[in-house]
Amino acid sequence: MIRPLQTALESNHYILSPSLLGALTPSHPGQAVGTLFEQYQAQGYLWLRGFLPRAEVIAFRRHFFSAFRDTGILAAGSDPAEGLWSGQAEDRALAAKRLMEVVRSAAYEAFCLHPRLWQFLDEFLGGPAYLHKRKIIRYTKPSEKSATGAHYDLVYLRGGTDRFCTVWIPIGDCPIEMGGLVYLEGSHARGQALETQFTQQNQALPPEERLSAFNKNMGEQGWISKDLPALAEKFGSRWLVADYEAGDLMIHSPYMIHAATNNLDPQGRLRLSTDIRYQNVRDEIDARWSNHWSLEDML
């Protein structure tokens, strides 16, 4: 059961009725790593509550939005840690520049390499953890009518092992209405079946295209669908949602189908998150992910 929502959830232009929603199962980061790994395999995800120190996550939120002060995206006079939207059009070129500066900064790298995180992952992955250099950080404004469509991550990272995992970190509180990640319950098996199908279809393509998330056999942007309600109905499943808090993190399997919903935060805050990929350094590494993320890298 999820709590009553302040507004109907929407993803792109599709409304998700409460009957298609369920609650993510939280896990306690203090549990034995072996037990957590079993949960991850069974569910396709782990929601680790309070994994990172809340104050450090909020400090990084402040750091991030402070860099955007001159773009017009923040409400005048507000604390950047709040990430309050100005309600006005920002200077988009400048905002893109600031975003790329953060992506390349030592502060962001250090945040993604929080010792608590890599030390946990060394154990979780059964060997030295490797962080892919291509790390994504996203903010969404309350006015945006678009959100990440349903997909599984292997589509974008097919050139190496399928034993990597994605870590999604909300940078700040992210209540359900703010449009955090939503997961299609039990869908990691379906992701695996879809990938087997794509592998067969892609076989006839030249090697580089075969790996691409954007080849002719894949959906728009590598997505399975933007229509989250139809996908849940088709698979007889539900979208699992959560009130994420600063300090929480999600770890999900490369086959787990997930998406995001529009940011409908009644307080008008920007949603901020990062999604990064870790794997065991001894497994094959997709060389295409060895550069910083850029808005046009088409990966």
**What residues contact 148, with CB distance under 8 A and at least 6 apart?**
181, 223, 258, 259, 260
Nearest to residue 37, comparing CAs of 118, 115, 114, 123? Answer: 123
Minimum Å gap between C-beta 90 and ligand AKG is 19
Whichever of 70 and 220 has its CB closer to ligand AKG, that residue is 220
| Residue 168 in the binding site for ligand AKG (CB under 6 A) | yes
Minimum Å gap between C-beta 147 and ligand AKG is 6
Which one among 11, 148, 202, 212 touches ligand AKG, defined by CB under 6 A?
A: 148
Minimum Å gap between C-beta 6 and ligand AKG is 20
Whichever of 181 and 213 has its CB closer to ligand AKG, that residue is 181
Measured CA to CA in angstroms, residue 276 lies from 71, 145, 164, 291 at distances of 25, 24, 10, 13
> Which of helix, strand or coil describes residue 118?
helix
Which one among 43, 166, 261, 262 touches ligand AKG, defined by CB under 6 A?
A: 166
| Residue 255 in the binding site for ligand AKG (CB under 6 A) | no
Positive or negative, the CA dihedral 109, 112, 114, 120 is negative
**What's the gap between Cα 112 and its chain centre?**
13
What is the identity of the amino acid at 277? R
Minimum Å gap between C-beta 168 and ligand AKG is 4
Binding-site size for ligand AKG (CB under 6 A) equals 10
Here the tokens at position 294 are 């850029």
Whichever of 22 and 180 has its CB closer to ligand AKG, that residue is 180
How many other β-carbons are positioned within 10 Å of the β-carbon of residue 30?
A: 9
Whichever of 41 and 221 has its CB closer to ligand AKG, that residue is 221
Which one among 54, 62, 63, 138 touches ligand AKG, defined by CB under 6 A?
A: 138
| Residue 153 in the binding site for ligand AKG (CB under 6 A) | yes
Which one among 27, 275, 285, 289 touches ligand AKG, defined by CB under 6 A?
A: 275
| Residue 286 in the binding site for ligand AKG (CB under 6 A) | no
**What residues contact 178, with CB distance under 8 A and at least 6 apart?**
263, 264, 265, 269, 271
Here the tokens at position 107 are 């502060």
How many other β-carbons are positioned within 10 Å of the β-carbon of residue 13?
A: 10
Residues 294 and 100 sit within 8 Å (Cβ to Cβ): yes
Compute the distance between CA of residue 140 and CA of residue 204 in angstroms, rounded to an integer.
38
Which residue is nearest to ligand AKG, using beta carbons? Answer: 275
| Residue 279 in the binding site for ligand AKG (CB under 6 A) | no
Whichever of 71 and 166 has its CB closer to ligand AKG, that residue is 166
What is the identity of the amino acid at 67? A
Whichever of 166 and 279 has its CB closer to ligand AKG, that residue is 166
Whichever of 170 and 247 has its CB closer to ligand AKG, that residue is 170
Where along the sequence are the contacts to ligand AKG (CB under 6 A)?
A: 138, 148, 153, 166, 168, 181, 258, 260, 273, 275
